[in-house]
Structure 1
Amino acid sequence: MRPGGLNTMGSPAFTDEDSARYRAAGWWSDVTLSDAVRRNAEQSPGRAAYVDHPGISLTWRVFDCAASDLAEQLIGVGVSRGDRVAVWHGDSAAIHVLLVAIERCGAVVVGVGARAGSREVAAILRTAQPKFLVSDRARSAAARQAAAAVTAGFPVLVLGSGSDAGELCVHIDAAPTALGAERPLGPDDVFLINSTSGTTGLPKWVVHTQNRWYYFHQKAVANGLLTADDIFLPVIPTPFGFGIWTSHTTPIYLGATAVILERFTTKTTYEAIAQHKVTVLCCVSTQLTMLMADRSRLDYDLSSLRVVFAGGEALPYRPAAEFEELTGAKILQFYGSNETGLLSATTVDDSRHRRLRTSGRIVPEMAVRLFDGDRDVTATGHGQPACRGPATSLGYLGGTDHDKLFTRDGWMRMGDICQIDADGYLTVTGRTSDFILRGGKNISASEVEDAVMAHSSIAVAAAVAMPDPVFGEKVCVYIELADSQTVELPQLVEHLVALGVSKELLPERLIVMDELPRSSGGKIAKSQLREDIRARMEAKHECT
């Protein structure tokens, strides 16, 4: 086995035969992200690498030098090859310099969501056991609080900027130490441990090599016809899977420019697209529906957009089609997870129906199968997907939930129920844990949400199970309204019936919120909504 395949993480490993086959096919490479940064600095030294909106801009030459300088500081502090370094930092150009610097130390990044709280960070430190925690100035006090809750004297490094825009330094008294020849990681080594950004249950820690994301990067380039001349705007938090390839992996491998927002809002997103002439927008489907619901979109020139990568949840057709009409861009969906990488994807050559109504055609080299439990039901075209291939992670840290993630014979599972048609296009019909069981009938929450989103007054929708003494569960829908519009449950039901929506998909309770709760990865946090409806029902019961 290669270094990154060692079972020290408690995870399944790629064999030497796997590695040789993937390289022979061109799916994996011997070029690392650090190598690509150096190449970009040599070939396009003056091109913008990362642009903070609003804020500083780093060229590839400055980025490369800053990463090496910061790596030497980290080595001087005591970061050694194989160490884990937790990163709790807001989205900015600086975090990408830091990730490359840690790679050049030969260390492993433990990615912490920028919106995490100190108690959550303390739990992460106990589980992942990094040697250091690096934060930005905005989180420095909370970082020290979290570290102190783990152990006295746990080292916290604060990353800040000097007078030069490209000068980044850790604020600690230690002399820089020159980089050694043996320090950098290889593309098959573990370089990142990050948490799942799922909407239910406790997060688990996914173990990554660079090559799995190199493969994903190649698919994105082919599907979207991406080039070094594209301007990327990824609005997904960096530590998570979707955020890693859209803001770090693909811009670096391409040598393209990435515009970074400290925090997603519809206004700043539209401003950034117009100001920087963004050609590639990357967002989860919830963010896309929020963008479409904001009428200020009409105040900005969005004509530079060419491609929008969307994923994470089912994409409502109406706002997606309207966004394409407004911008002229093509929305490309893919299907996968932080654990598996992609299993299917759409391309710019697909029809609008295929691009917006499906998650794309199955990727042959990911060898996707469908299961019912441990029984292979691929021939039926309906079941729980699982895969083996070059995009998969090494599994969960320490082998956590190995039996849930893998079938008995080693196929990595997704948590969804899917349909694959005769042409190989995949459609998600629901999650294994995201069904509403009403009177013994399984109702797909995603189908309810897609139906509800057909109403023009609704910007975002999330369907969850509402406890019921007679039927067991009923359909409850939480929504965010578009602009200042209003909608009542009877009006919504009447609208859906007129559209011919199946009666089983009709909401039985409607709750309007200013903003639905989000997970760290930007998805709707349905676990919080389920807790909310249970609390509302219990309070109602106590009052009667």
Structure 2
Amino acid sequence: MSATWSNNHRPADVAAYVESGAWPNLTLADYLDAAMRADPDRTLFWETTRRWTVRDIHDSAHALASALNHLGVRRGDVISFQLPNWCEAVIIDCAAAIGGFVNNPIVLIYRDAELRQILPDCQSKVIFIPESYRGFDFRAMAERVRADAPSLQHLVTVRGDGALTLESLIALGKERPLKQERTDPNRPKLIMYTSGTTGRAKGVVHCHNAIHCDLSAHQRFWKLTEHDRSFVTGPVGHMSGYLYACNGPLQWRIDCAVVERWNVDEAADLIDNLGLTFTVGATPFLQDLVALSRQTGRKFETLRLFACGGAPVPPEIIRSVYRTLPNTVSYRCYGSTEAPTTTLGVSDPSDIDACALTDGEIFNNYVKVVDDDGRTLAAGCEGEILIRGPECMMGYSRDEDNAAAFDEDGYWRSGDLGVLDARQRVTVTGRKKDLIIRGGENLSAKEIEDAMHTHPAIRQASVVAAPHPRMGESVYAFIVCQEGATIDLPELSAFLTKAGLAKQKIPEAYELVTDLPMTPFGKVKKNVLRDRLAEKIRS
């Protein structure tokens, strides 16, 4: 049975988006067919050792959509993939658009604990996985969690052996092609999970129109043309990698190079050898490129834009780009899984202060900053950032998550604190949500704490964000042990790994304390813990 979710797009807004042309009323299948008509033999995707033409993607995606139909997958059903940055993710996403399936990309580093939440929640029927990758057995993990995901009918191996492989499905679809009805662009296209303060992953649902509206805004703001070549470093299971690898190249008709894992020397060679012109990446990647340029004198002359987001971006990093890479513009962007790109940078990149100190100009979205009572604040006043517009999500997969997520005017409550200036530039100042953002990934403090509390030596635990020179933030734990017990970091890491937590959620440092500061209502005063950690770092 297909999953059904609430739609928080108000009918009047939908009508306005369509009438104004903000929503293109096209799906990825339409963009794929248009690219096929224009230049079927164009090499569109570049991996380190492989090249993929428009025809490769088109023929494989249509065959896969037919094969999935033969397996019993129907319109509105969810299919999942958990893959490295391989072009097969693009084929799967295109097949989903062709067949009317809802795609569920999953971050590659997620393990049993996360999959046991995600797969049953979205009622996924199929998951595409590598047989094994970098020493981890993905097929064994999928078999383990299958018992907790009753809707999951098929495990499909990509670039490996198994009872059912992507290659065999494509072959089946080519032998038994089916005519497909056109997918309604207002229907759900994507469900992607993001951690929240509740400790349970929340499914974010987007329609086709919202995703392609977002990418149209990129094209206008960044002035992208068919002569550009993009470079994707973000994982395809994350919103940035999904947008810029799976969807952007076909919509923009721009060649795209994808890398499985960041290596600054390999990245530099790709930029120079392929003439790559723009990328969107996390702070550590930009830092690495600038450092390499300083060491070697390489200027990456074709790279005209590096938009930076995810982890916090120190102003000095942006300023260093302008001093080191004369042909490259860089600025901060602000977005989320729920509202992917609320800002796309600064329209006047010669204003280096704006590029370095703000998170960019509002573009193609409506934003207001409100106080705790929901009153809109004047420019320059700090409050919670609320967002509405044609790029925003339809809603969360669970109704209980939607209840407090939107205000009476349809604005989504981001949980982020910030200020909006007179020129409609946003500066994010903090978070109301208790999240740790490590390398652009949202980590739920409560989920980590809940796992720690299952250790017999731990009486109380609280985790906060610690500054990290490369990843932006890391997990720092305060632990109160049971009387007469103790614990060290290796033991804690081994325990949490066995419990199924992904590596990035495991504390990298900790402190044993006799008690935790509490409110009269029994809640941990995390502001006190953050201040204590900051003082420890300063001293």
TM-score (norm 1): 0.74
For 1:209, the equivalent position in structure 2 comes to 207
Structure 2 counterpart of 1:345, one-letter code: L
CA distance in 1, matches of 2:200, 2:267: 30
1:117 to partner: Cα distance? 1.2
| Distance 1:39-1:168 versus aligned 2 partners, 3 A rule | farther
CA deviation after TM superposition for structure 1 residue 528, in Å = 4.8
Contact kept? 2:84, 2:108, Cα under 8 Å? yes
Paired position in structure 2 for 1:260: 258
CA deviation profile, 1:508-531 (whole Å, cap 9, x unmatched): xxxxxxxxxxxxxxxx999755x8
Deviations 1:21-77 (A, max 9, x none): 11222211122111111111221222211111x121111122211211222222222
Residues in 2 aligned to 1:312 and 1:199: alpha-carbon distance in whole angstroms:
18
Equivalent position of 1:375 in the other structure: 374
Q: Check the 8 A contact 1:199/1:525 in 2, yes or no.
A: no
- The AA in structure 2 aligned to 1:420 is L
Matched position secondary structure for 2:24 = coil
Amino acid at match of 1:247: A
- Which residue number corresponds to residue 271 of structure 2? 273
Residue in structure 1 matched with residue 246 of structure 2 by the alignment: 248
Q: Which residue of 1 aligns with 2:384?
A: 384
Distance in 1 (alpha carbons) for counterparts of 2:152 and 2:386: 44
Shift of residue 254, structure 1, vs aligned partner:
0.9
Given residue 86 of structure 1, which amino acid in structure 2 is its aligned partner?
S
For residue 248 of structure 1, give the secondary structure of its aligned residue in structure 2: helix
Residue 67 of structure 1: aligned partner: 61
Q: Give distance in 2, aligned partners of 1:369 and 1:152.
A: 40
1:333 maps to 332
CA offset digits 1:94-148 (Å, max 9, x no partner): 1101110122121111221112113322322122111122223323333223324
The 1:527/1:406 distance shift into structure 2, 3 A limit, reads farther
Identity %: 23
Deviation (angstroms), 1:249: 2.4
Matched, 1:28 2:26: no
1:51 to 43, 46, 52: 46
Residues 25-424 of structure 1 aligned to structure 2 (within 5 Å): 25-52=20-47, 54-138=48-132, 139-151=138-150, 154-160=153-159, 168-170=167-169, 177-182=176-181, 184-196=182-194, 201-293=199-291, 298=296, 300=298, 302-327=300-325, 328-350=327-349, 351-363=351-363, 366-379=365-378, 381-424=381-424
Tell me by how many angstroms 1:418 deviates: 0.9
Question: Counterpart in 1 of 2:477?
Answer: none
Q: 1:81: Cα distance to partner?
A: 1.5
Q: What is the CA-CA distance between 1:208 and the residue it aligns to?
A: 0.8
Shift of 1:244: 2.3
Structure 2 counterpart of 1:425, one-letter code: R
Find the aligned partners of 2:432 and 2:340 in 1 and give their Cα distance.
19
The structural deviation recorded for 1:11 is 4.1
Q: What is the alpha-carbon distance in structure 2 between the residues aligned to residue 525 and residue 161 of structure 1?
A: 24
2:8 equivalent to 1:12? yes
Aligned residues of 1:228 and 1:254 also touching (Cα < 8 A): yes
CA contact (8 A) 2:290 2:321 kept: yes
Structure 1: how far apart are the matches of 2:27 and 2:299? 37
Whole-Å separation in 2 of the counterparts to 1:332 and 1:346: 6
Secondary structure of the corresponding residue to residue 145 of structure 1: helix
Looking at structure 1, the residues matched to 465 and 186 of structure 2 have their Cα atoms a distance apart, in angstroms, of 45
Normalising by the residue count of structure 2, what TM-score does the alignment of the two structures yield? 0.75
Q: Which runs of 5+ in 2 are unaligned?
A: 133-137, 446-461, 472-501, 516-539
For residues 195-221 of structure 1, what are the alpha-carbon distances to aligned partners after superposition, in whole Å with 9 as ceiling and x for unaligned? 126799442110011211222212211
Count residues in correspondence.
453
Structure 1, gaps ≥5 residues long: 1-5, 436-444, 450-461, 465-472, 483-523, 540-544
SS at match of 1:170: helix
Deviates more, 1:239-248 or 1:339-348: 339-348
Instruction: Classify the secondary structure of the residue corresponding to 2:307.
Output: strand
What amino acid is the match of 2:88? Answer: A
Amino acid of the structure 2 residue aligned with 1:51: W
The amino acid across from 1:105 in the alignment is: G
